[in-house]
Amino acid sequence: MYNSDWHIHSEASYDASLPVEELIASAKRYGLKQFGITDHANLNIPSFWENMYKSKQLYEKYQYEGFYYGVELTVIPKSLYDYCAKYGTREGYTFPSGDKPCELEFMLTLEDLDKLGIMYCVAGAHSILNVELDQNKIIREWHRQQMYIATDPRVDVLAHPWWFPSIKEWQDSEGRYFDKPWFGDFDVIPRSMHNELAAALIENDVCIEANLSMICGNSYPENFYRKYNEYLRYMFEKGVKLVFGSDVHRSPYGDYRESVEKALSVVGFKPEDFSAPKIHKRSGLKNLKS
């Protein structure tokens, strides 16, 4: 059975409410062997630092065998990172204009990861930044951000590859994507991008995530899931390590093993195909806030 989950948001995350106590109890009940909380580290401003401290406190309070303390990083413009470092807020920041893709960054430095004692990082693309809403441009931008993630030494897992944020222009009235940017036809993404990404992931020992919302459900057209799972299989056969992430944000923390197995066995995955990310021994400061 699939018995690990490397992408979970706890009550410490600004957008989540799952109590760690409940998570541990559910993990025991379902026989999860390895799992971790990965709360959002989006911007280097005080509120996100508070989330990080709270996440760490909860981890320490509920320590349990096979339970890990991770984080979810998101790609931001370097100029936004610098702005937040200078002003302590994102209020007043504007995206750089022009056609040039902006330089990228994450909220946490390697030094910050040490200070916090973070054991592993998942990282994902979540925003189109200053890119124009054009299908080809968006595909190139997503690939660019995912390449940044795959080649950065802070990252251990590429979260939800080719996930896409809520963009009204391309969604139906229920908020579902039926076509653009790639949900109608996943083959609009050039194979060369998959090959380039796979090579980078392997070279840097970064795992790819089978994210629950991307592999099954009803948020995307029905034929999308099959294509997407074939894509994961393609990456896996090239040698990319695969991990599972539920990306649960709130109670109840469910038992997803049956749906995961059903979705992924169709394309040939077996439970033993799942890996664990690299776990780092970072000591962490005793008194974090000083």
Chain positions contacting Zn ion, by CB under 5 A:
72, 124, 159, 247
Q: How far is the CB of 38 from Zn ion (least distance, A)?
A: 6
Closer to Zn ion at the Cβ: 212 or 235?
212
CB of 114 to Zn ion, least distance (A): 23
Q: Which of 5, 176, 167, 152 is nearest to 74 (CA)?
A: 152
Query: How far is it, in rounded angstroms, from Cα 193 to Cα 201?
Result: 12
Nearer to Zn ion, 100 or 113 (CB): 113
Least distance CB 7 / Zn ion (angstroms): 6
Nearer to Zn ion, 92 or 252 (CB): 252
Rounded to the nearest whole angstrom, what is the least distance from the CB of residue 166 to Zn ion in the complex? Answer: 13
Q: Nearest approach, Cβ of 39 to Zn ion (angstroms)? A: 9
What residues have CB less than 8 Å from 72, skipping those under 6 apart? 7, 9, 38, 39, 40, 41, 121, 122, 123, 124, 159
Given the complex with Zn ion, which of 7 and 180 has the nearer CB atom? 7
Amino acid letter, residue 111: E
Structure tokens at 218: 């009803």
Residue 163 CB, shortest distance to Zn ion, in Å, is 7
Structural tokens at position 42? 């989006």
Q: Using CB positions, name the residue nearest to Zn ion.
A: 124
The answer to whether 256 and 246 are in contact (CB under 8 A) is: yes
Q: Which CB, 251 or 266, lies closer to Zn ion?
A: 251
Contacts of 20 by beta carbon, 8 Å cutoff, 6+ apart: 10, 11, 37, 58, 59, 61, 62
- Of the candidates 244, 154, 142, 238, which has an alpha carbon nearest to the alpha carbon of residue 204? 154
Q: Which is nearer to Zn ion, 86 or 126 (CB)?
A: 126
